[in-house]
Structures are given as C-alpha cells and as structure tokens.
Structure 1
Amino acid sequence: MLPPNCSVVHSHAVEAATAALLLLECALGALGNAVALWTFFFRLKVWKPYAVYLFNLVLADLLLATCLPFHAAFYLRRKTWGLGRTSCQVMLFLRAQCRGAGVAFLTAVTLDRYLRVVHSRLKVNLLSLRAAWGISVLVWLTMAALTHQSVFLSEAECPSSEPRMESSFSLIWQEALFFLQFILPFGLILFCSTGIIRTLQRRLRDPDKQPKLQRAQALVAVVVVLFTLCFLPSFLARVLLAIFQRTHTCGVLSAMVHAADVTGSLTYLQGVLNPVVYCFSNPTFRRSYRKLFYTLTLRGRKQEAEAPGYELRDSYS
C-alpha cells in the first residue's frame, strides 16, 4: 500500500537510461539470435535433444526482442502507454511468455547436461528428438497458461512498475510468477551445477575425456553466471520495493522504483548473453559467430583482401 500523500517522482535520467538499455538489448539480442537461427537452419547437421531446447530458446529470445522497442517507448514517454489497452496486454503477454520460456529452456539445457554427466546410464538420456519437441511444445503451452493473466490487466496497470494502493489478481499473479521463475529454476540450476562439477572433478584425470568435460563444466558455469547476472538484481530490487512500500518515506520508495526499473531491464540481457551458451554447446555456433565477427571488423576484411584464396566457408563449416 502506498503511503498517504505520496507519489513516486519520475526521473528523466533513469527512464532515458532504461530505454537506451532496452534498445541496446533489442539490437544485440536480435543480431546474436538471428545468427544462431541461421546456424540451426544451414549449419547444424546433427540435432540432439539439447539442440531442440536451444532452438526454442532462440525463438523465445527473438520474440522477446520484438517487445523491447515498445517497452523502451513506454519509458521515453515518461512511463505512459499511448497505444491502447489491447496492444499493452498483447505486449505484456508476449513479454512474460517469452521470458518465462527462455528461463525454462535454459534450465532444460542445464538439466540435460546434468543427466548426461552425472547419470549417464539412465534411459532418459536416450530421449528421441520427437520427445524433445513434445517437451518443448509442453513448455510453451505451460507458460501460456501461467502468463495469460496479463490480458486481464486494466489500462491503469499497463505496464507500470509503480506500487499502488489496490492491486488486481492479475498484477499479484504476475509478481508471484516472476519470483517463482527466479527461485525454482535458479535452485535447480545450482543443484545441477553442483552435481556436474563434483562429477567432473572425479573424471578430469582421464586425458581423453578432459577437453569434453571441461567444455561441459564451462557451459554450466556460463549458465549460472548468466542467470545470476540477469535475474538476481531485479529479484532483490522487487523484494526491497515490496518491503519499503509499507514505509512512509516517499524518497526511499521512489529510489526503489527507479532501481526496479533499471534492474528489470537487465532481465532482457539474457537474450543478448544466450549466444555464449550456444558457443559452449556446439563448435558450429562458435564458427558462425567468429565468421560474423571477422565480417564486421576491418581486420576480417583486410585478411580476406590479403588472402584471395582463403574462404571463410571452408574454415568455419
């Protein structure tokens, strides 16, 4: 509940910085995941269950990137939505659906690695591609069922992060879902990571398996760091906002709202950093991103000019 006679003071600097961060995440996320999508269609020859989860993660990130310009415009208009209630509901639903699906598929990749490393003899590791696609469809349907409450938000609740005296069931459900999407997957990721690291420490003595196991260990570490960096700041900011919402200090409450805005925009950084996960998952993605890097840099163009017989396609295929 808001304190009496207290309104959150808008900060043009915070809102402009948040909008700029969202637009940067949109551009980098769209570029990185577009390269990944191209790699899936034209470079990846062998598909395994983890590749199916990564493909769906790419789709979720690309769809999420389409929401970010509209969310940035919301901050540039001093946190007002001028496109009508329906468009806001669609944007919030798509944003919650794709962000939740992204977290779910990132967790699925970690769980897949855990089962293959720690419990390599289980029959679940023989999961077919058809079963993996079935699991992916189930994830999308489950997230749609969990996030459909976004369409019941009123125009006044769309899509502000400011606390209110009265909150609808849809708004409360959104907040509860955000906390659950952090706590449950993060706990599972930490559990799987601990099991993988312990198992790898016992197996790293074998020289033949050491490179493969080190890559798996690096993948696990990247997922943990990525999840922590993207979601932990927003989680803590929302907890503090809920605590200070009951105080009578408007200045502190305004600061917490600004912190929630900035850290909330960091959750979309996942779409920018997920290509790192792809690179550790399969060398084909590393070749694609390396090719993009050399193409976009002067060094790459210079190397091509100096070596006419050198073809990137031959090197990176």
Structure 2
Amino acid sequence: MEDEFNCTLIDDILERHYLSPFYGIEFCIGFPGNLLVVLGYIFLLPKWQSCNIYLFSLAVSDLVFLCTLPRLSYLYANNQALSSPFACVLNRYILHVNLYSSILFMVWVSMDRFLLIKYPTRNHPLLKPRTALVVTGLSWLAVNVEVSPMIALMVHDLKSGNWSRCQDFASLKGWDHPLGYSLGLTLSGYILPLLGLCVFSYQIALLLRVQERAMQRKTKSFKRPLRVVASAAAMFLVLYSPYHVLRNVRIASGQLQSGLQLCTRKGIVHLYTLSRPFAFLHSVINPVFYFLMGDKFRELLMAKFRKLVRKKERQGEPV
C-alpha cells in the first residue's frame, strides 16, 4: 500500500516541479526567437519565395503555440485547477495543431529545397509563391481536420469532471475508441510526414552526388540544404517518437486497467509525462532553421541589427 501511495505522489511532483517550469522555460526561450522571425519576415523581407512562405507559416504556428505555455505552466503549478473551460479546450487544440503543422511545414520546406536544387531557375510550378500559398492553406485545413475530433472528447471529459480539471489528450475519458484515433493521428500526423522528410533528404543526397560526379568537384553551395533537412528529420525523430509511443501506450494501459497493477500504470503515466515537454522543444529549436535556410533573411536581419547598433552608438556620442 505504501508503494502505491508513493506512485500516486509522483504525479503531483512531476506536474508542479517538472511540467510547470519546463513549459515556462520553453516560452521564455522560444517566444523571442519566433517573434523575431515573424517580425523580420514581415518588415525586412522585400520579396517572398515559396520557402519563405512555408517558414513563415511554421514560425506563426510556433509563436501561437508558445503563447499558450504560460497558462499551461500555471495550470500544472496549481493542480490543473480550471477557471475557463474554453481556454482549456483552446490551449489543447492549439498545442496539437502546432504539433502536426510544424512537421508538415518542414516537409514542404524540404520539398522546396529539393526542387530548387533540381530546378535552380525556379521553373517548377511548386516553386511558385502562389502554389506555396495554396499548399499552406491546404496544410492548415488538413491539420485542423485531423485534430478537430479532439474537441468533442475534451468537452465530454470536462463535462464529466464537472468542468474542474484540464486534462491532457491521453488522460481524456468518455470515448469508445481513443486508441484508434491516437494511432491514426500518429500515422497521418507524424509517421507519414517523417517519412517525407527522410525521402527528400535521400533525394537531395542523390542529386548532390550526381552533380559532384558531373562537375568533378564538391557542390558546397548545396551541402547546407542537405544538412538542414537531415537535421530536421533527426530532430522530429528524437523529439516526437518517445511522445507518440508513450501516448499510445498510456491510452492502451488505461483501457487495460484491470490487468495492470497501479504502480505499473502510474509508471507509464510518468514516462509519458516526461516525454511531453520534449515533444514541444521543436518550437524552441525551429528558429535555428530559419537562419540556416535563408541567406537573404539572415543578411537583412544582421544588416538591420548593425544599423541599430550604429544608431545607438551615435546617440551616445557627446555633442
């Protein structure tokens, strides 16, 4: 009995002293970086290419999500005590839309880099900004369609709990087949886009190999897109895989409660809890890709920064 009591105590410790500060730190680091990218794209970039549209959409998705983290941090610091059911549903909805839109937009970025290497004159239809806008709109629509069934589940769970606690997705109750939905979401929202990232990384590597043989020299100018795309695939693999595996195991263990001991079920919950903040670290890391991917944006941003520094130095000079 004492072991079972200790198992239940860990829930509160993880929420108050792990989830709450972790989400707070992610907000403090990720929000300034993504805000800088969004403002830089709006005010500094004179001409947008297709890649800029995908990266801007990714930055907006991350920025909106990061704005929900202070509330999530507050909820976990206060035992998920709920003051606004609407805010709870909205927060969880934005969280999952960001989770799956981020990797999808990175797939389109990798596709854009592959096509640009293959068609450097930008004569391919998918490299046109208008096409990128259409793809972006369809991507937002697809992700929202994927995540929208979660709204009914969240509302049902809140209602059954007297509107008092804001639960995470894997802890929601009241649906006949939550594991089926979670597995489908894992396949369509994570596994297929991850395969897309891997395929484009492989295709870029093949193109570079062919070009090196044809030109008899190293194509250093195209090495960076390969490294960026491959790094993005590795990032999502490392950050998303534990979360999705443990989320599905968590839901499955909840459906098999009678066959599992309490501490076994709680151990699964604790591992799942540990994986959650890491899944959203991509929002903190993504700004690195914006600077690596676009030479023009990086140059404009650095030029603006140097201009501001010189202006401040002139203001500080004695008259």
Q: Secondary structure at the match of 1:190?
A: helix
Aligned to 1:146: 146
Q: 1:13 to 1:213 in 2, by over 3 A?
A: same
Choose from 228, 231, 247 the match for 1:219. Answer: 228
Match runs of 1:1-317 below 5 Å: 9-11=8-10, 12-15=12-15, 16-78=17-79, 80-117=80-117, 124-125=124-125, 127-152=127-152, 153=154, 154=156, 155=158, 156=161, 158-160=166-168, 163=171, 166-168=174-176, 173=181, 176-204=184-212, 206=215, 210-242=219-251, 244-245=253-254, 246=256, 247-287=259-299
| Counterpart contact for 2:30–2:283, Cα < 8 Å | yes
Gaps of 5+ in 2: 315-319
| Counterpart contact for 1:36–1:285, Cα < 8 Å | no
Paired with 1:165 and 1:6, the residues of 2 have a C-alpha distance of: 23
Paired with 2:35 and 2:219, the residues of 1 have a C-alpha distance of: 32
Q: 1:163 to 1:41 in 2, by over 3 A?
A: closer
Q: Which has the higher helix share?
A: 2
Q: Which amino acid aligns with 1:29?
A: G
The structural deviation recorded for 1:287 is: 4.8
Alignment RMSD (CA, Å) = 3.5
Paired with 1:208 and 1:42, the residues of 2 have a C-alpha distance of: 39
Q: Which amino acid aligns with 1:238?
A: R
The structural deviation recorded for 1:197 is: 1.6
Paired with 2:58 and 2:105, the residues of 1 have a C-alpha distance of: 6
Paired with 1:171 and 1:158, the residues of 2 have a C-alpha distance of: 20
| Counterpart contact for 1:118–1:195, Cα < 8 Å | no
Q: 1:143 to 1:10 in 2, by over 3 A?
A: farther
Q: Which amino acid aligns with 1:194?
A: Y
1:157-211: CA deviations, max 9, x gaps?
A: 8423565775356786356424531111111111221221222233245488722
- Bigger drift between 155-164 and 57-66 goes to 155-164
Aligned length: 297
Q: TM-score, normalised on structure 2?
A: 0.79
Percent of pairs with identical residues: 20
Gaps of 5+ in 1: 296-300, 310-317
Q: Which amino acid aligns with 1:115?
A: L
The structural deviation recorded for 1:22 is: 0.9
Paired with 1:145 and 1:50, the residues of 2 have a C-alpha distance of: 24
The structural deviation recorded for 1:234 is: 0.8
Q: TM-score, normalised on structure 1?
A: 0.79
| Counterpart contact for 1:161–1:261, Cα < 8 Å | no
